[in-house]
Amino acid sequence: MKSIDVRDKYIQFFERNGHTHIPSAGVVPENDPTTLFISSGMQPLLKYFLGEVHPSGTRIVNSQVCLRAHGFMDDLLEVGDNRHTSLFEMLGNWSFGDYFKKEQIPFFYNFLTKELGIDPHKLYISCFIGDSENSIPKDNEAVEIWKNLLTEDGIDCEVVEFENMEQADKEGNKGARICLYPSKKNWWSRNGVPSDMPEGDIGGPDTEVFFDFGFEHNTQYGEKCHPNCDCGKYLEIGNSVFTQYIKKNGKFEELPSKNVDFGGGLERMVAVLNNTDDVFETDLHQPIIKRLEALLGISYSDNKSLFRVISDHMKSSTFLGFYGVIPSNKQQGYVLRKFIRRSAIKIYLFNKELDFSNVLKQIPTAVYEIYKDVNPKYGFNVKEEMLTQISEIIFNEAESFKKILSNGLKQVEKADLSKVDGKFVFDLYQNQGFPFEVSYEIFKLRGVEISQKDFLAEFEKHRNISK
Ligand code: SER
C-alpha cells in the first residue's frame, strides 16, 4: 500500500466520522519563539486545547509535517536505525471537548483493522497504570474499552502491569495483550510526566498501539520483551492522548471539557502495511534511496545506516527549504546547516573522491517525487518551482563546508587519539570552525565516541569566560 493511499484513507475515515480536515501547518512555528520546529500534530492547535473555540468545530483531522531536532544533537544522532527520522508526518485527529475514550479507541482500532486490514492479532496495547505520587488513578476506562473491542474480535485479553521499566525489561509481557506502564511511557503533556508539569499545564493518560513483527527478542535490550522494548519486535504506530487533567495547586483536577489528541506516524504505518520494519524501505524514502544508490554507486542493503542518515537529513533539508529556511549560524538555519554538513561528511568519509556538493544538490528533486501527487489540500508547501533554488542553497552550503573541512582535517589527522575528548573537539571548533557534528563522525570511525555533553560543557565554560 502506498503512502498516498494511507494518508487519504485516514483523512477520509475521520471525515466520514464527522471531522473537518485542516491543512498541515508549516514546520517552523508561527509566532512562537519558544520552539524551533513543529514536532507534533497538536502543537499548532495548542490554544484550542486550552479552551479557545476552533473555527472548524470540535472534531478535526489532518496530517502534520513534523520535524524533531531536539537537543544539540540528540534527535539527529538517533537517525540511522530502521524507524527514527527527524522529519515525519503525524496523522492526527482531535476532539476539543467532543468525543472521548469510548469513541477514540474504536475509531483508531477500526481504522487499523477494517480500513487498513491489519490483523488485530498483531496489535498490542499500552495503557496508563496511574501515578500514586500525584494521586492520578489507573486508566481503567481505556483498559475496559480495549478489552471489549478485542474480545469481540476473538482475541484473548490478558493484562499485565509494570510498576517500572526495570520490571518490564526483566519480566516481559509474556504474551499479554494489554500492558500497563507508568507515567514515563503512558502519560502525555508538553512538559513530560505529571511531576514535571508546571501549574496550569494540561495533560493526561495515553494509550498506544504497537505492531508485533513477530521477530525473536534481542536480549541486548533487556532480559525479556514487551511492547516498549527497543529490540524492534514491536513498533509503536499510534498514540491516543486523553487530555483530561489540569495541574492546579500541585494537584490534578479533571478538566471541564475533555480532549483527545491522537498522533500516528505515517511512515511507520506505511512500513507495517508493506510488511517491513524499515521506514526507509517505504515510498516515503525510496525515491531518495534509489537516487543515492545511483550517485554513490553502492546499494542500500549493504550500507543502511549511511543511506538512512543522508536520506533523512536531506529530506529535512529540502523541507526546510520549502518552508523558507536558509543555512545560518542560529536557530532553524543552524539546524539546516547541521543536516547538510552531517550528510556531506558521511559521503566524504565513505568516498573522498566523490564530490559531495554535487551529490547533495540532486536530492531535492527526489524528495519532490515523493510528494508531487499528494493532494494540495493537505497543505504541504512542496513546490516544483522552488527546487532549483533549494538545490543551489544546499550546493553552496556544501561548497563552503569543503573549506572548513580541508582546514580542520589536517588537525584531525594528526590528533593523538588517546587525547581526543570534548575539549579537543571544542578547540577545533573554536580555532578552525570545525563543527562538532563533523568531528563526531570522523572520530567515531576511528573508534572514539565524543560525548556531546563534554563538548557542550566546554562550550559553556568558554561562554562564561567571555562574559
Ligand atoms: N501529542 C501526542 C504525541 O506527540 C499525540 O499526538 O505523541
For residue 240, give the ligand 1 atom closest to its CA.
5
Stretch 336-358: mean pLDDT: 94
In a domain, 26, yes or no: yes
In a domain, 409, yes or no: no
In this structure, the answer to whether residues 146 and 181 fall within a common structural domain is: yes
Residue 393 Cα to ligand 1 middle (Å): 33
In a domain, 382, yes or no: yes
Phi, psi of 127 (to 5 degrees): -135, 175
Residue 239 Cα to ligand 1 middle (Å): 6
Whether the predicted pLDDT of 156 surpasses 80: yes
Whether the predicted pLDDT of 129 surpasses 80: yes
The CA-to-CA distance between both ends of the chain, in Å, stands at 57
Residue 361 Cα to ligand 1 middle (Å): 33
Q: Which of 250, 273, 296 is the last residue of a domain?
A: 273
**Pocket of ligand 1 contains residue 188 by CB under 6 Å:** yes
**Pocket of ligand 1 contains residue 265 by CB under 6 Å:** no
**Pocket of ligand 1 contains residue 263 by CB under 6 Å:** yes
**Pocket of ligand 1 contains residue 241 by CB under 6 Å:** yes
In this structure, the answer to whether residues 156 and 178 fall within a common structural domain is: yes
Q: Report the range of poorest mean pLDDT among 5-14, 146-155, 429-438.
A: 429-438
Q: 38, 184, 261, 269: which to mutate for ligand 1, most atoms within 8 A of CB?
A: 261
Contact present, 14 and 369 (Cβ < 8 Å): no
Stretch 323-344: mean pLDDT: 94
Could you give the CA distance from residue 467 to residue 464 in angstroms, rounded to a whole number? 5
Q: Which of 245, 273, 301 is the last residue of a domain?
A: 273
**Pocket of ligand 1 contains residue 63 by CB under 6 Å:** no
Render pLDDT for 383-438 as a digit per residue (tens, 0 to 9).
999 999 999 999 999 999 998 888 888 888 888 888 888 888 888 888 777 888 88
**Pocket of ligand 1 contains residue 277 by CB under 6 Å:** no
Could you give the CA distance from residue 431 to residue 345 in angstroms, rounded to a whole number? 19
Specify the residue with its C-alpha closest to ligand 1, atom 6: 263
In a domain, 420, yes or no: yes
Q: 38, 40, 243: which to mutate for ligand 1, most atoms within 8 A of CB?
A: 40
Mean pLDDT over each residue of the chain, to the nearest integer: 94
Parent domain of 249:
3-273
Could you give the CA distance from residue 345 to residue 348 in angstroms, rounded to a whole number? 5
Render pLDDT for 299-317 as a digit per residue (tens, 0 to 9).
999 999 999 999 999 999 9
Cell output for 280: 526507509
Residue 214 Cα to ligand 1 middle (Å): 26
- Alpha-carbon Rg for the chain, nearest whole angstrom, is 23
In a domain, 407, yes or no: no
In this structure, the answer to whether residues 139 and 56 fall within a common structural domain is: yes
Q: 24, 35, 42: which to mutate for ligand 1, most atoms within 8 A of CB?
A: 42
- Of the chain, the percentage scoring pLDDT greater than 90 comes to 79
Contact present, 70 and 452 (Cβ < 8 Å): no
In this structure, the answer to whether residues 163 and 141 fall within a common structural domain is: yes
Render pLDDT for 226-283 as a digit per residue (tens, 0 to 9).
999 999 999 999 999 999 999 999 999 998 889 999 999 999 999 999 999 999 999 9
Contact present, 227 and 234 (Cβ < 8 Å): yes
Instruction: Work out the number of other CB atoms within 10 angstroms of the CB of residue 114.
Output: 11
In this structure, the answer to whether residues 269 and 289 fall within a common structural domain is: no
Higher-pLDDT residue of 433, 325: 325
Residue 431 Cα to ligand 1 middle (Å): 42
Percent helix / strand / coil, the chain, rounded to 5: 50, 20, 35
Whether the predicted pLDDT of 143 surpasses 90: yes
Contact present, 3 and 266 (Cβ < 8 Å): yes
**Pocket of ligand 1 contains residue 41 by CB under 6 Å:** yes
In this structure, the answer to whether residues 421 and 393 fall within a common structural domain is: no
**Pocket of ligand 1 contains residue 238 by CB under 6 Å:** no
Render pLDDT for 434-458 as a digit per residue (tens, 0 to 9).
888 888 888 888 889 988 889 889 8
Residue 209 Cα to ligand 1 middle (Å): 13
For residue 92, give the ligand 1 atom closest to its CA.
6
**Pocket of ligand 1 contains residue 104 by CB under 6 Å:** no
Residue 241 Cα to ligand 1 middle (Å): 7
Whether the predicted pLDDT of 71 surpasses 80: no
In this structure, the answer to whether residues 377 and 425 fall within a common structural domain is: no
Residue 382, sorted as left (phi over 0), alpha (psi -120 to 50) or beta, turns out to be beta
Q: Which of 401, 425, 442 is the last residue of a domain?
A: 401
For the chain, the residue count is 467
Residue 127 Cα to ligand 1 middle (Å): 14
Helix orientation angle between 436-445 and 452-466, rounded to the nearest 10 degrees: 150
In this structure, the answer to whether residues 261 and 333 fall within a common structural domain is: no
In a domain, 428, yes or no: yes
pLDDT band at 168; cut points 50, 70, 90: very high
In this structure, the answer to whether residues 204 and 111 fall within a common structural domain is: yes
Residue 40 Cα to ligand 1 middle (Å): 6
Residue written as grid cell 524514502 = 285
For residue 40, give the ligand 1 atom closest to its CA.
4
Q: Which pLDDT belongs to residue 407?
A: 81
Stretch 369-381: mean pLDDT: 96
Whether the predicted pLDDT of 11 surpasses 90: yes
Could you give the CA distance from residue 364 to residue 242 in angstroms, rounded to a whole number? 38
Cell output for 395: 550546493
In a domain, 408, yes or no: no
Q: Which pLDDT belongs to residue 78?
A: 85
The pTM assigned to this predicted structure is 0.92
Q: Which of 177, 85, 14 lies closest to 370, judged by CA?
A: 85
Helix orientation angle between 286-296 and 364-371, rounded to the nearest 10 degrees: 150
Specify the residue with its C-alpha closest to ligand 1, atom 3: 263
In a domain, 462, yes or no: yes
Residue 400 Cα to ligand 1 middle (Å): 38
Residue 199, sorted as left (phi over 0), alpha (psi -120 to 50) or beta, turns out to be beta
Give the DSSP letter string of 125-170: EEEE--BGGGTB---HHHHHHHHHHHHHTT----EEE-SSHHHHHH
Q: Which pLDDT belongs to residue 432?
A: 76
- Of the chain, the percentage scoring pLDDT greater than 70 comes to 100
In this structure, the answer to whether residues 221 and 154 fall within a common structural domain is: yes
Residue written as grid cell 495547586 = 249
Contact present, 404 and 393 (Cβ < 8 Å): no
Domain count, the chain: 3
Residue 98 Cα to ligand 1 middle (Å): 18
Instruction: Work out the number of other CB atoms within 10 angstroms of the CB of residue 67.
Output: 23
Q: Residue 241 burial by CB count (10 A; 0-12/13-18/19+): exposed, middle or buried?
A: buried
State the CATH number of the domain containing residue 18: 3.30.930.10
Q: Which of 394, 389, 377 lies closest to 343, judged by CA?
A: 394
In this structure, the answer to whether residues 296 and 360 fall within a common structural domain is: yes
pLDDT band at 76; cut points 50, 70, 90: confident
In this structure, the answer to whether residues 294 and 339 fall within a common structural domain is: yes
